[in-house]
């Protein structure tokens, strides 16, 4: 065999060996040429400014936003998606989701225990695939999953979405919540302790609190969820301060569920990043929350959701009384939200949607919670910021998400109409792009062409 042939054969053989040996992730990083897409629309909300941009163009290259502008010059050879009379927005963010939990609303208040006992973590992760897709399709490209996900099921789902095994929103996972003994369950038989440990890490004392945060980080947590009180026990200010100190040391935000004045005061004093729900919101915590830039994640929902309680068991009189209590509680929650905003407390949108409602997807329910912020009296721009740039800041991803700006990840949605004039326009999603990939694109309304040479 001629020497030149032997040399060529060796190079071919070496190439085959390298292709077999190199990890697929390395091979995937080899340059294949940039993909450029220009998205055109009548209006654009960038996630921050109250004034909409008209005749908007978002130029996307690979998975990043290259440029945003009005009547922007589109480079030759760029794929153009002309969406027409819609408003572009950053991908929406739900900072309080439960994608691996779906209680039947008809089962009543003990359905959490029933769900946890009935489904394995693996089954709930598969449920999360379904619910995640429903949330993504209505424009939520990022969620923070705040527990009730079994033993790290949210981490498994997050990783599967990142690897492209399934399609869903980007997930900030909290793993199991740190909690007083008992978690959030009602009183169980002594033999059911393992059921609690599947959902919560019980802590008592500063050492256990620190150890629990480190375990959560080891398990893959992007955030730390804490149950401040559970009706039986309350975490102390000392325990909460240790949790915050340890979490912030490794750059993880801390979210605390509170229902009592005592626990919310302890959480605010400890310097947590967000108060979830705000069921208890005494006047004296508002100023320190504003000063410390602690977010309120109100999850009271909409008055219209009280009608869903009709599916729960009971006679007509019981159903009327239940709905009336729901309406009063919701209105009280809306008043608390207005009071907090007036005091300068920052707000991020969280749905706390975890019930299965007949005729509604998880995406439908999540959107209803977002619209409830407008029902409570917040301006449209404040609601939109709370679901985009402010939410991204709470999750500590504002360098990548939450606004339509050059350099950010290409999470872009489009809704029919103008949400600045009518927030219900958010129900009319016409286009969803996550990480530069089109997830929802109605063919009948989007013209796709290629920019001609100039």
CATH topology of domain 173-394: TIM Barrel (3.20.20)
Question: 155: which 2 tokens?
Answer: 């981490």
pLDDT, one tens digit per residue, over 168-190 is 999 999 999 999 988 777 776 66
Q: What is the model's pLDDT at position 326?
A: 85
Q: What is the model's pLDDT at position 451?
A: 61
Residue written as token pair 């559970």: 230
Q: What is the model's pLDDT at position 321?
A: 86
415 strand-pairing partners: 87, 429
Q: What is the model's pLDDT at position 14?
A: 42
Q: What is the model's pLDDT at position 311?
A: 67
Q: What gap in Å lies between CA 433 and CA 414, rounded to an integer?
A: 9
Q: What is the model's pLDDT at position 19?
A: 41
User: How far is the CA of 129 from the CAs of 29, 99, 141, 163, in angstroms?
Assistant: 27, 8, 14, 13
pLDDT, one tens digit per residue, over 347-396 is 999 999 888 888 899 999 999 999 999 999 999 999 999 999 999 999 99
Q: What is the model's pLDDT at position 194?
A: 75
Q: What gap in Å lies between CA 79 and CA 246, rounded to an integer?
A: 47
Q: For residue 151, with 0-12 CB atoms within 10 Å meaning exposed, 13-18 middle and 19 or more buried, which class applies?
A: middle
Q: What is the model's pLDDT at position 110?
A: 53
Give Cβ neighbours of residue 365 (< 8 Å, ≥ 6 apart): 305, 351, 353, 355, 357
Q: What is the model's pLDDT at position 109?
A: 52
Q: What is the model's pLDDT at position 4?
A: 47
Domain spanning 36-90+405-450, CATH class:
mainly beta
Torsion of CA 193, 171, 400, 26, to 10 degrees: 110
Contact 170, 434 (CB under 8 A): yes
For residue 248, give the 3-state DSSP assignment. helix
Q: Where are the domains of the chain?
A: 36-90+405-450, 173-394
Q: What is the model's pLDDT at position 305?
A: 82
Q: What is the model's pLDDT at position 105?
A: 55
Residues of the chain with pLDDT under 70: 1-34, 104-114, 188-192, 310-311, 313, 442-454
For 98-115, give one letter per residue: b (16+ CB within 10 A) or e: bbbbbbebebeeebbbeb
Helical (H) or strand (E) element with 413: strand 412-416
Q: For residue 38, with 0-12 CB atoms within 10 Å meaning exposed, 13-18 middle and 19 or more buried, which class applies?
A: buried
From the CB of residue 337, how many other CB atoms can be counted at a distance below 10 Å? 23
Q: What gap in Å lies between CA 125 and CA 99, rounded to an integer?
A: 8
Contact 432, 136 (CB under 8 A): yes
């Amino acid at each position: 065999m001629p020497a030149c042939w032997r040399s060529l054969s060796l190079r071919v053989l070496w190439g085959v060996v390298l292709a077999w040996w190199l990890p697929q992730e390395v091979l995937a990083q080899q340059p294949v040429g940039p993909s450029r897409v220009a998205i055109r629309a009548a209006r654009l909300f960038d996630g921050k400014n109250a004034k909409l941009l008209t005749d908007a163009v978002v130029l996307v290259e690979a998975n990043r936003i290259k440029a945003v502008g009005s009547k922007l010059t589109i480079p030759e050879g760029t794929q153009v998606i002309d969406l027409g009379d819609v408003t572009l927005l950053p991908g929406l963010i739900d900072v309080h989701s439960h994608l691996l939990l779906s209680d039947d609303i008809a089962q009543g208040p003990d359905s959490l225990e029933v769900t946890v006992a009935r489904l394995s973590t693996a089954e709930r992760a598969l449920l999360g695939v379904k619910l995640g897709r429903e949330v993504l399709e209505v424009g939520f490209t990022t969620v923070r999953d705040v527990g009730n996900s079994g033993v790290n099921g949210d981490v498994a789902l997050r990783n599967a979405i990142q690897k492209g095994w399934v399609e869903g929103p980007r997930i900030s996972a909290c793993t199991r919540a740190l909690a007083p003994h008992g978690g959030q369950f009602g009183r169980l038989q002594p033999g059911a302790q393992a059921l609690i440990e599947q959902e919560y890490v019980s802590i008592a004392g500063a050492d256990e609190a620190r150890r629990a945060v480190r375990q959560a980080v080891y398990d893959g947590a992007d955030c730390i969820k804490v149950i401040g009180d559970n009706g039986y026990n309350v975490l102390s200010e000392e325990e909460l301060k240790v949790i915050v100190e340890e979490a912030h040391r490794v750059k993880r935000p801390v979210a605390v569920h509170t229902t009592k004045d005592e626990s919310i005061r302890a959480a605010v004093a400890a310097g947590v990043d967000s108060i979830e729900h705000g069921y208890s919101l005494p006047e004296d915590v508002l100023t320190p929350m504003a000063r410390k830039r602690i977010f309120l994640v109100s999850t009271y929902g909409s008055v219209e959701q009280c009608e869903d309680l009709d599916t729960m068991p009971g006679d007509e009189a019981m159903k009327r009384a239940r709905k009336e209590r729901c309406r009063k509680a919701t209105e009280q929650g809306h008043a608390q939200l207005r009071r907090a905003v007036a005091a300068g407390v920052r707000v991020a949108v969280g749905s706390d949607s975890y019930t299965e409602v007949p005729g509604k997807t998880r995406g439908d329910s999540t959107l209803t919670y977002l619209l409830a912020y407008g029902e409570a009296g917040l301006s449209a721009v404040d609601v939109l910021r709370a679901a985009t740039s402010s939410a991204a800041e709470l999750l500590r991803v504002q360098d990548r998400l939450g606004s339509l700006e050059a350099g950010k990840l290409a999470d872009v949605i489009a809704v029919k109409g103008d949400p600045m004039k009518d927030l219900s326009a958010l129900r009319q999603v016409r286009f969803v792009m996550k990480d530069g990939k089109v997830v929802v694109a109605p063919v009948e309304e989007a013209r796709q062409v290629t920019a001609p040479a100039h």
